[in-house]
Amino acid sequence: MKIALAQINTIIGDFEHNTKKMLQYIKEAEDKGADIIIFPELATTGYPPRDFLEFKDFINKAEESIERLKKASKNIAIVVGTPSKNPVIEGKDLYNSVVFLYGEKEIYRQHKTLLPTYDIFDEARYFEEASNWDIVEFKGKKIALTVCEDLWNLGNENPLYTVNPMDKMMRHNPDFIINVSASPFDYKHAKERIKVLKENVKAYNIPVFYVNHTGAQTDIIFDGGSLVINKNQKVVTELPYFEEKLEIIELEKIDGIQEEKTQPKEKIPLIKKALITGIRDYFGKIGFKSAVLGLSGGLDSAVTTVLAVEALGKENVRVLLMPSQFSSAHSVKDAEDLAKNLGMRYDIVPIKSIYEAYLTQLTPLFEGRPFDVTEENIQARIRGNLLMAISNKFGNILLNTTNKSEMAVGYGTLYGDLAGGISVIGDVYKTEIFELAKYINKEQEIIPVHTIIKPPSAELRPNQKDSDSLPDYDVLDPILRLYIEGQKGPDEIISMGYDEKLVNRILKMVNRNEFKRHQTAPVLRVSPKAFGMGRRMPIVAKYLE
């Protein structure tokens, strides 16, 4: 039996696009002699559809897609994820289902049992959990159909559920498992995914065929990495990350394979690919073509520019250099050198005269008060206005260049340097930005070395450095990571050897600046805990105050 893994990049709500893509893959798989083709979870709708699921028309269109796929199943079985209507009054109106089509008929529909409600997931909001567990018999084989989370209750130190759907299916003695999945990327997830699937193989002693989405849906990125693991717990194949791919595996040959075939999993290369995918799909799926951003000569804007050029092409990325009287000559040169290295357009728009006009108008109102963060923020907002003017006039979407360290502690100006349509590096700590820059430069100097080695500075006052307001990033970032990703409280972090005053100061900064994060652009998610849907904190609260 030949089984095709179809790792695809869907568009949420674009039923014509998604169905047409699946029909193309079905034809290719059929031409190559496949008996079964497997598509990801909710492949008809794209994932996550969120509140689109509350529209009857949306669900009807998903069913229409299934009808079109059914007609293509004359000679090949199709396994595909889609929402299903719940025919009874009790419970949620929908199920999250996997459908088995063959002979132009629907053979079986298995609903998802384990509905995640952690991090970015909110499936219990929409779906009813399964209450029946059967299998499909096809060409002499018994197949257990599962949906994503239904296999994720094994291999965890703290299981979230009290039931494993496969335990119920095993009474039918299935020959192998098919899992249709929508498993978002983070830089740790690929290793965890293999571990979890191997635990299932170990528990049930049968192979697993796992198919995941690839591509980005606004802030959520899917890496693909679809897998086949034989009953000896060896990875027979792992499909490429961040690419669409069709691969056919012969069931009868997999158990003899001892050498594992896996993809590289180094953190920084994965983050780079993920961010490029996030930019490319954010623009491509909405229909945007060109980007603009401010290029300061600093590291964050330099890294963001390189990623944008790789994602969109140098002809589709425009940068503004907006020096003030506080900008160093070297910063301007660094920015120019980067733009020249990339062969891209750049424009220099000095802001000194604009800034002085603001101060002239505000001086009577400020009553001789001293220079402080107010004047710094005015500069940031002037730059934001200039960038948005280019965006409005030419249709360039503004990319935000704030890193996760800055976003965490509020080191940014609302309606200024926090403006943008998408936050490219808002889930990448400053220490990781340095690693990214070095990785970008591994073969040749693209980012000027001076940009990487100079002390970070917003250059909003004379001789300013980030360390004037913040702890050094190699001190700040580990504490932020423990609090944000690790959910460690202050006492736990202090007990690990960190200074009590420093920990309390940093954690208070994080909590006090929640209001800023609620007003910023969606953040491309590359870590296990990103700002946005996956981290839901109240704005008004007194914890750690």
Residues 6+ apart with CB under 8 A from 201: 207, 208, 229, 230, 231, 233
Active-site annotation holds for 41? yes
Q: Is residue 324 helix, strand or coil?
A: coil
Q: Among the options 21, 128, 148, 375, which is catalytic?
A: 148
CB 55 within 8 A of CB 48: no
**Residue 544 burial (CB count, 10 A):** 16
Catalytic residue among 112, 198, 234, 430: 112
Helices (H), 223-294: 267-286
Helix/strand/coil (H/E/C) assignment for every residue in 126-192: CECCCCCCCCEEECCEEEEEEEHHHHCCCCCCCCCCCCCHHHHHHHHCCCEEEEECCCECCCCHHHH
SS3 category, 442: coil
Give the tokens for residue 482: 């423990």
Give 525's DSSP letter: P
* Catalytic site includes residue 112: yes
Inter-residue contact 321 to 349 (CB < 8 Å): yes
51 Cβ contact partners less than 8 Å away, ≥ 6 residues apart:
none
- By CB atoms closer than 10 A (0-12, 13-18, 19+), residue 101 is buried
Question: Residue 148 catalytic?
Answer: yes
Q: Residue 111: what are its φ and ψ, rounded to 5°?
A: -90, 155
The region, left, alpha or beta by phi > 0 then psi within -120 to 50, assigned to residue 5 is beta
User: Choosing from 21, 41, 273, 516, which is the catalytic residue?
Assistant: 41
Question: What is residue 25's three-state secondary structure?
Answer: helix
For 76, half-sphere exposure in the C-beta direction (CA atoms, 13 angstrom radius) is 24
Active centre residues (catalytic):
41, 112, 148
